[in-house]
Amino acid sequence: MSVQLPLAPGSAIGILGGGQLGRMLALAAARLGFDVVVLERQADSPAGRTAAKLIVADYKDEAALADLAGLTGLVTYEFENVPASSVDWLAAHGVEVAPGARALAVAQDRFEEKTFLNAHGAPTVAFAPADTPQEAVKAVAKLGAPALMKTRREGYDGKGQRWVEHAPDAAAAFAELGGVPVIVEAAAEFVRELSVIAARGRDGAMAVYPLAENHHEHGILRRSIAPARASQATAEQAERIAARVLSGLDYVGVIGIELFEMADGRLLVNEIAPRVHNTGHWTQDGCEVDQFEQHIRAIAGWPLGPTKPIAQVEMLNLLGEEADAWVRFAAEPETRIHLYGKHGARPGRKMGHLNRVRPL
């Protein structure tokens, strides 16, 4: 199905992936008058239960992709590990996919990602690739221990990575990560972790949200505070980084950029995510237009919405059985509850989040 942009209300938008980000995108799209078609492997998924139509199949199933293409000419994705071959198939059959294949390719390989960032004026820590145990040892020796070793592909919420305290230990860490290609990163002596959520429209217009300050536990985002207390110079530095990344990728949609703030005030990019982002959940109750509506606006060719903050927000991820306390949270006047409709509360699994709202 061909698509005419800007996309008119009543049209359909496809989403690859049925998790909580897909769910919140589907809800935002519905609010703007769009129908959503979700392609997801599980029959019972958070996004699938909010969509106008659900296609249950593997992301690489060409019959399912053909069904999706027959229902909508515009598709997005909720996570960056969707197979690039699926995006290529859709594009080859006339479907507009946003963000595009370039963003997906860069984000799916951590070495390609950091290489791209440095080439486009977005600084990172020093890094080196390693394809063998011997190369891993040499990389840590070159960069200095301790160093962080990550698989080049896959991995999230602290998975797929190991700290290496001494160079000779790198061979064992390489084996523990499955013996697959890795990237070794120099340790970052940062003051705090920040993130910026930004959007780019089809006309090249950009919209940047205020910075969020983020706190992780065991590799999982625990809470974000936004707008973060930051100098004008820091905010402008983050905006410049976002603009370089978005322009370099010819990006359409919302992107999340994780940052390290160094003691001297420099910002280093930790990683990028070509999608709506956990650290942007605060925008649902803290901004005039949240990140989910902004993403739908951008990919549909609509004007981008204002990113002005209307409240101070502390976003708290609800992990495992913490979401069972919804009655207590509902009694807190300043708290807005966002639950994902997941079944099976496992330790560390994101079941929802809270936005605790206070005046600016």
Nearest residue to 87 via CA among 78, 74, 100: 100
Strands (E), the chain: 12-16, 35-40, 53-56, 74-77, 96-97, 127-130, 147-151, 161-164, 182-186, 190-200, 206-208, 212-217, 220-226, 253-262, 267-273, 312-319, 335-339, 350-358
End-to-end CA gap in the chain = 46
Same domain, 265 and 151: no
Domain of residue 272, residue span: 190-358
Domain-located, residue 157: yes
Verdict on whether the full-model pTM lies above 0.85? yes
Same domain, 210 and 354: yes
pLDDT tens-digit profile, the chain (360 residues): 779 999 999 999 999 999 999 999 999 999 999 999 999 999 999 999 999 999 999 999 999 999 999 999 999 999 998 999 999 999 999 999 999 999 999 999 999 999 999 999 999 999 999 999 999 999 999 999 999 999 999 866 667 899 999 999 999 999 999 999 999 999 999 999 999 999 999 999 999 999 999 999 988 999 999 999 999 999 999 999 999 999 999 999 999 999 999 999 999 999 999 999 999 999 999 999 999 999 999 999 999 999 999 999 999 999 999 999 999 999 999 999 999 999 989 999 999 999 999 999
Nearest residue to 41 via CA among 52, 25, 53, 57: 57
Same domain, 173 and 236: no
The gap from C-alpha 117 to its chain's centroid, in whole angstroms, comes to 16
Domain-located, residue 106: no
Nearest residue to 277 via CA among 234, 325, 320, 226: 226
Same domain, 213 and 278: yes
Domain-located, residue 345: yes
Domain-located, residue 105: no
Tell me the CB-side half-sphere exposure of residue 284, using CA atoms within 13 A.
26
DSSP label at 180? -
List CB contacts of 61: < 8 A, sequence separation 6 or more. Answer: none
Task: Give the pairing of strands 182-186 and 35-40.
Answer: unpaired
Q: How many CB atoms lie within 10 A of CB 114?
A: 25
Give the chain's domain count.
3
